[in-house]
Amino acid sequence: MDKNFKNSLQLVSEKIENSLDQILTLSKEGDKILNEAMRYSVLGGGKRLRPYLTIECSSFFNIDYSDIIKISSAIELLHVYSLVHDDLPAIDNDDFRRGKLSNHKHFDEATAILVGDGLQALAFEILSGDFNKIKPESQIELINLFSNMVGHKGMVGGQAKDIRSSHSDTLTLSDLLIIYKMKTANLISFSCQVGSIISNSNDLHKSALKNFGDNLGLAFQITDDILDVVGDSSIIGKETGSDYKNQKITFLDYYDIEQILATEERVPVTFNCDAQGLGYLVHGVEEDLTEGTKLELPFWLADALVKQNNGIQQNKGGVVSINMPRYYSQKYRNHLKANPTSVDLRSVCQVYYQLGMRLSPWLGLDEMTEMSLKKDLVEALVDRYFGVLDFSALNVGPNVYTLPIEHAKFSTSNCPETVRNDGRPKKSCSPYML
């Protein structure tokens, strides 16, 4: 994280924390337990990203800072309300939030429901209250947009769609992105638009900030999907694996996490042989790399090298061995490590054999050279294909090279490694069916 950004975020967080503390000071009319429960969830946790975006995006305009702090506080209260309700057993059933017990676990479910209700009402109370330099018509526009962004047309509606999408095998990627925009991106987008609304800025500024907020919100939710799989609960402050536990459809049902994270990810590798012409990868080395050299390479390069044998001993795998990050699935680890003598291959032997049976009729046929099957599947396996196939055939069935071409069928709609043709998520595909 950039140091300047981190410091700036910390400064805003402290100011918002003080503001929220003052707002939640118990009044004579308030219920003591309810107020305690509201303070429990609101104070002492959270990055305050939405208030930060509100303040930073509003800095482009000449707006009273105390007014922006009030609005930012209201946005954070609304956000916390959504978290408290999300954690309830009826929705995500999460036990931890921001590094401590969820509200319904620390208190009880009824109290948590009332906390959310109270925080939502308090947010609107602040937005409809007195400000120093905000015109009434701008205030009304702000409240109207806020209502749309967080109500049944926005955040609440997106949450409802999200709940119904669980266990679904018909949800398209477009449908999922609509859910993400409604339940997550809308509030982030609103935070970015506040300054342009209350300053009565031109349409160009409003549109630019809206688009920025929408895209940032989608990226934020996709990141949250990834963290639910690979994140450290002690760092992110909540349990991981919640989406899987609740059988929720996420972005990772359409794209492998390896595809999302690995393209530019640097992974540790060890060279299994002398590598000519790759010395430029190490600062100060001009020519060759020697066997045993340890480097961190971009995944795309490491992936290419591990699939190349270059005449070295087969039990060493490719030109390099990859120490793969923990977020890679075991299946993917096995495939990357596979070679005819590897122990790991035995666990995926049947998969390779079935794949080989379907691909072998097309290998070597010139008329298939330009087809996506040849390009996307065959070329990915070509460096080690026949060795793997030979080993598989000896262990799981007859020699596949005699397979008649008329028995070979291929259907992209059933492939478990891609999005289906109709846009449905991968988990709806039948495993190992090509």
β-strand partners of 321: 270
pLDDT tens-digit series, residues 362-379: 555 455 444 554 455 555
- pLDDT string in tens for the chain (434-residue length): 456 788 888 899 999 999 999 999 876 677 999 999 999 999 978 889 999 999 999 999 989 999 999 999 999 999 999 999 999 999 988 888 888 999 999 999 999 999 999 999 999 999 999 999 899 999 999 999 999 999 999 999 999 998 888 767 778 888 888 999 999 999 999 999 999 999 988 888 888 999 899 989 988 898 888 888 777 776 776 777 777 777 788 887 777 665 555 555 677 888 888 776 666 666 555 567 788 888 877 666 776 677 666 555 444 567 788 776 555 556 555 555 555 555 455 555 555 556 655 655 655 545 544 455 445 555 555 545 555 555 555 655 444 333 333 333 333 333 333 333 344 445 443 332 22
| Strand ranges (E), 59-192 | 96-97, 100-101
428 in helix, strand or coil? Answer: helix
Q: What are phi and psi of 51, to 5 degrees?
A: -60, -40
Domain definitions of the chain by residue range: 3-250, 255-331, 338-434
Strands (E), 235-367: 266-271, 294-298, 320-322
b/e burial code for range 240-271 (CB count within 10 A of at least 16 → b): eebbeeeebbbbbbbbbbbebbbeebebebeb
pLDDT for position 110: 96
Inter-residue contact 391 to 340 (CB < 8 Å): yes
- In SS3 terms, 157-187 reads as HHHHHHHHHCCCCCCCHHHHHHHHHHHHHHH
- Which residues are CB-neighbours of 340 under 8 A, at least 6 positions away? 314, 384, 387, 388, 390, 391
* Cα distance between residue 166 and residue 384, in whole Å: 39
Do 188 and 158 touch, CB atoms closer than 8 A? no
pLDDT of residue 233: 72
pLDDT for 152? 93
Instruction: Specify the pLDDT at position 76.
Output: 97
Scanning 24-48, the segments in alpha helix (DSSP H) are 32-42
Question: In the chain, count of helices (H) and strands (E)?
Answer: 20, 5
SS3 248: coil
pLDDT at residue 268, rounded to an integer? 80
pTM, to two decimals: 0.62
- The sheet carrying 320-322 orders its strands as 294-298, 266-271, 320-322
Backbone phi and psi for residue 27, each to the nearest 5 degrees, phi listed first: -90, 170
What is the b/e burial string over 103-131, where b = at least 16 CB atoms within 10 angstroms of the residue's CB?
Answer: bbbbbeeebbbbbbebbbebbbebbeeeb
Q: Read off the amino acid at residue 415.
A: C
- What pLDDT score does 385 carry? 53
Q: Where are the beta strands (DSSP E) in 346-422?
A: none
3-class DSSP assignment, residue 169: coil
pLDDT for position 428: 40
Task: Tell which residue, 190, 200, 193, has the closest CA to residue 75.
Answer: 190
What kind of fold does domain 255-331 have according to CATH?
Answer: Methane Monooxygenase Hydroxylase; Chain G, domain 1 (1.20.58)
How many C-beta atoms surround the C-beta of residue 29 within 10 A?
5
What is the DSSP code string of 272-286?
SS-BTT-GGGSTT--
Residues facing 97 on adjacent strands: 100
pLDDT of residue 355: 61
pLDDT of 429: 36
What is the model's pLDDT at position 270? 85
CATH 1.10.600.10 corresponds to the domain 3-250: yes
